[in-house]
Amino acid sequence: MARVLAFANQKGGVAKTTSTLSIAVALAERGRRVLAVDLDPQGALTYSIGIDPDSVAETVNDVLIRRLPIEKVVIQREVDVVPSNIDLAGAEAVLLAKTGREYALQRALRDVQDDYDYVVIDCPPSLGILTINGLTAARQVVIPLQCEALSHRGVGQLLETLNDIRHFTNPDLKVIGVLPTLFDGRSKHARDVLGDVGQRYDVEVLEPPIRKTIKFAEATQAGKSILSYAASHPAAEAYREHARRIDEAEGV
């Protein structure tokens, strides 16, 4: 049965999509079968792996709203992808009118649970029904955190939402930890944020931090993960290390 990981942070611009894709590809490099689900109407994950969101006929929106079997929309790239585009923006309103709306993604994933070792979910930068679907379907959650004050403030809000998810829809949901991204080790502010967040929220801060580099933007433009675009870059190696620890903790 697939292990389902959600990547969530309601603040945008924290390298959530980059982290989702990079860890997905790093797990695939380890020989794991990986399905990446793009739950963001902006289609950032879809675009980042070389798929034009506007050219995709059927997406995760059809899975959630029309109950199209999820395997019908999978596209094969570095990992298998369930794509998204702007059509998903209307799904929130439609799902809110449905019974069991929080479980739509979980229900869809049942059909492919045995086909993959991992399902990784790129949640949108919000705490709406799409993110709740991602967190309800997941076994564990990773919180990408840009090492600056505004991103830091959002962690407490997200942890409150996770407590609600555990209470109402997914009592077994665990937080793997906060993944520091866009890190500038020369900045005292970044180091202070990193030092404070784990203590303040009693959550593990995952090491090593992912440092800022233009290679991420170049990789996105090329439609590849950084692991394919710049395989030996320190940022690619850092994501491999995180994937190794996640994979080796499977039985924990």
**212-248 pLDDT, tens digit each:** 899 999 999 999 999 999 999 999 999 999 999 999 9
- pLDDT value of position 252: 46
What residue has token string 């969530």?
8
Q: For the chain (length 252 residues), average pLDDT per consecutive 10?
A: 95 93 98 98 97 96 96 98 96 90 97 97 94 97 80 80 95 95 72 75 90 94 97 97 93 48
Question: What pLDDT sits at residue 210?
Answer: 93
Measured CA angle at 47 (ends 216, 248), to 5 deg: 60
pLDDT given for residue 12 in this prediction: 87
Assigned token pair, 232: 């030996």
pLDDT at 162: 94
Given this model, what pLDDT does residue 155 score?
83
Question: What distance in Å separates the CA atoms of residue 81 and residue 50, rounded to the nearest whole number?
Answer: 11
Bond prior to 208 in cis (omega within 30° of 0): yes
Which pLDDT does position 194 carry in this prediction? 72
- Parallel, antiparallel, or unpaired for β 118-122 and 34-38? parallel
**Superfamily name with CATH number, domain 3-243:** P-loop containing nucleotide triphosphate hydrolases (3.40.50.300)
